[in-house]
Structure 1
Amino acid sequence: MTIKMTMIIMLIVLLILTTISYLLQIEQFSAKPLLLQKEKIFTLSSGANQYSLKIFLKKEHLVSSHIDQLSQLVTLEPKLALIKAGTYRLTPGMTIRDLLLLLVSGKEAQFPIRLAEGSTLKECLNSLAQAPYLKHSQQECIKLKNLLEGNFYPDTYLYTSSTFDSEILDRAQLRMETFLKKIWHERDKHLPYTSPNSLLIMASLIEKETSIKKEKARIASVFINRLRIGMKLQSDPSVIYGINKDYHRGITRKDLAVPTPYNTYFINGLPPTPIAIPSQSSIEAAAHPEKSNYFYFVSDRNGGHIFSTNLINHNQAVQKYRKQRKI
């Protein structure tokens, strides 16, 4: 073998070794964990590229060194350059490659928001207004305010930073419509409801009257019994809703004397709309009330209620309640 040939072979070997070393360095760089002690939310703006990504990583001190190797990694693997704008969740243990793959996938961070049973539309709108990364629209807010009370299924909904507040309520409204339609078809026969909405109104009253699941069907029976004989429902939560008062402050005789469409001490039958978002258990109780002879109930001061079939027993229960309240 000539000296020239030997030199060529040595150069080839050197080139191979250099290439392998280079590739190993890039691979080691891509496998480095980001310097994260806790979860971090990161927004990649529209039009961002690897250059702006490098600036972010450097500014946030997420990479210890050799940040320029990011360009080399992307050059070797062009698919990693196809990053998408969005808001992402970075977690401890995530490597640089994991980060790039996440940005390429476009799988944005999801945030939870709870539409709680028993909450009003006003309370839901306040929660939506305070939710992070949720988009808001003046025109959509007008639409939201025109929606009926209580027509949303209570649950925790996930959204991304590209979601509008109205989309959350649209999803919740569709779920409630679907669930209510099912319950309406399965309801007990001969109940004094004229429509699925009237069942929903009843469920909202039950929801605000008790949080004890096993009591709900009995509460429903009281209201159903009253409706059947044309007796006023006399539901305090409905009165409170009508005067737009804080439910937790209780009710006074003065409140009961305020004539509103929701004052069930004045009006006959159900109020015009639900007074809150009813839970699934309250809707089921409205659709399948207990069969009873009860026409009255009052708090027992322990979270539950005392039920009575006649006014004499009810007044005795009320007096007992008032005495306990003074103690």
Structure 2
Amino acid sequence: MKRIWAALAVVVVLGVACIAGGYVYWQERLKAPLTINEPVLYQVPSGAGFSQVVSELENQGVLDGAWAFQLLGKLDPQALPDLRTGEYQLQPGMTGRDLMALFDSRDVVTYPLTIPEGWTFEQMRELLAAAPKLEQRTADMSDDEVMTLLDREGTHPEGWFFPDTYRYHLGMSDVDILRQSLHRMEGMLEEVWAEREDDLTIDSPYEALIMASLIERETGAPEERREIAGVFKRRMEQGMRLQTDPTVIYGMGERYEGQITHADLREATPYNTYVIDGLPPTPIAMPGRAALEAAVNPLPGDTLYFVARGDGTHKFSRTLREHNNAVNRYIRNRD
């Protein structure tokens, strides 16, 4: 009987030792480094489970011992990361535990997409269509259909999207960027309009958006925006037409080929401010915050005219004679 108990004790000890050893080995496999010598970009498929992911990583030679993670999932499912569709950057030296932490952080690889100030909605759509790894949901939609999708049915899209750098990841769509940009502009416009001057010649946030788009298209020089806004304000106060070339260009659409003729200036389009009084019916571009702020806070002064110097800045004049002299100098190259 003593021999039987002794044998059982040995079996128990060996069993405990095997279990302990197995547990230690299992934990070591969870902490083992990935079998890579250079960064690897791994894409978590939509709807994938962690067991599927570690099996794929093992098949790709990135991970050794997928069984250890699959066992963890059976013993403690709550310990597994909550996977998010997207791309993850796996680095040499990362352990299996680091891998789980990376997936759990949802720190997916993102890509920048920059919408420049002064671009049109058409240019924005072209940029979105060319963005790599961005799902295209609006490719076959008209502008009206896009605005309806964004819950802005009947709204003209021009000017309503804030120009900025946005980041996206695999699994996002062009609609996600459009919605972010739209909400940014709406919020920005509301904020800027609340800080407006009292004696403006514009009566609504939308008119401020239109005015800002003209300012944005007229100059890229930050120090000029408020002065251009001041010129436009004084011209409207005195019943003068705005006579700004960017509105002529916008009204020409695809017919514009780099130059404006005298006939173009006389053409009656809804946007030609050489022909119409006041503001055009919609914005002509996407203004940035500085242009929005200038539109509602124009610089006081007495200038009524400006002409491009050719270096990105303008010569401002108080009288028509001064303006004509400036036109001769900077446009007709006469001294």
Normalised by the length of structure 2, the TM-score is 0.83
Local SS of the residue matching 2:88: strand
Q: Contact between 1:135 and 1:161, CA under 8 Å: does it hold in 2?
A: no
2:285 alignment partner in structure 1? 276
Moved more, 21-30 or 38-47: 38-47
Q: Read off the aligned partner of 2:286 and give its amino acid letter.
A: I
Percent identity at matched positions? 34
Moved more, 270-279 or 183-192: 183-192
1:91 alignment partner in structure 2? 90
Q: Contact between 2:134 and 2:174, CA under 8 Å: does it hold in 1?
A: no
Query: 1:97-246, aligned counterparts within 5 Å?
Result: 97-103=97-103, 109-131=109-131, 132-137=133-138, 138=140, 142-144=144-146, 147-245=156-254
Local SS of the residue matching 1:265: coil
1:72 alignment partner in structure 2? 71
CA drift at 1:274: 0.6
CA drift at 1:315: 1.6
**Mapped partners of 1:250, 1:140: distance in 2:** 28
Question: Cα 1:317–1:116, aligned 2, differ >3 Å: closer, same or farther?
Answer: same
Deviations 1:163-219, CA, capped at 9 Å, x for gaps: 443343233222322222232232111211121111111111111111111111011
The count of residues paired between Structure 1 and Structure 2 equals 323
**Mapped partners of 2:135, 2:238: distance in 1:** 48
C-alpha root-mean-square deviation of aligned residues, in Å?
3.0
**Mapped partners of 1:204, 1:25: distance in 2:** 66
Q: Read off the aligned partner of 1:44 and give its amino acid letter.
A: P
Confirm whether residue 318 of structure 1 aligns to residue 317 of structure 2. no
**Mapped partners of 2:15, 2:292: distance in 1:** 75
Deviations 1:260-295, CA, capped at 9 Å, x for gaps: 211111111111111111111111111111111111
Moved more, 285-294 or 146-155: 146-155
Question: Cα 1:250–1:164, aligned 2, differ >3 Å: closer, same or farther?
Answer: same
Local SS of the residue matching 1:186: coil
CA drift at 1:324: 5.4
Q: Contact between 1:80 and 1:101, CA under 8 Å: does it hold in 2?
A: no
Question: Cα 1:18–1:168, aligned 2, differ >3 Å: closer, same or farther?
Answer: same
Moved more, 280-289 or 35-44: 35-44
Question: Cα 1:185–1:78, aligned 2, differ >3 Å: closer, same or farther?
Answer: closer
**Mapped partners of 1:150, 1:66: distance in 2:** 54
Query: 1:18-29, aligned counterparts within 5 Å?
Result: 18-29=18-29
Local SS of the residue matching 1:298: strand
**Mapped partners of 1:163, 1:243: distance in 2:** 35
Query: 1:28-39, aligned counterparts within 5 Å?
Result: 28-34=28-34, 35=36, 37-38=38-39
Moved more, 168-177 or 288-297: 168-177
**Mapped partners of 1:235, 1:309: distance in 2:** 17
Q: In the alignment, which of 302, 313, 318 is matched to residue 304 of structure 1?
A: 313
Q: Contact between 1:114 and 1:156, CA under 8 Å: does it hold in 2?
A: yes
Question: Cα 1:55–1:128, aligned 2, differ >3 Å: closer, same or farther?
Answer: same
Question: Cα 1:297–1:95, aligned 2, differ >3 Å: closer, same or farther?
Answer: same
Q: Read off the aligned partner of 2:12 and give its amino acid letter.
A: I
Deviations 1:84-119, CA, capped at 9 Å, x for gaps: 462242331543233345546666555443333211
Q: Which runs of 5+ in 1 are unaligned?
A: none
Moved more, 249-258 or 194-203: 249-258
Question: Cα 1:39–1:229, aligned 2, differ >3 Å: closer, same or farther?
Answer: farther
Question: Cα 1:142–1:226, aligned 2, differ >3 Å: closer, same or farther?
Answer: closer
**Mapped partners of 2:17, 2:317: distance in 1:** 91
Q: Which runs of 5+ in 2 are unaligned?
A: 148-154
1:43 alignment partner in structure 2? 44
Q: Contact between 2:210 and 2:280, CA under 8 Å: does it hold in 1?
A: yes
Q: Contact between 2:247 and 2:280, CA under 8 Å: does it hold in 1?
A: yes
Deviations 1:54-90, CA, capped at 9 Å, x for gaps: 4421343212x33443333433433345754622423
Normalised by the length of structure 1, the TM-score is 0.85
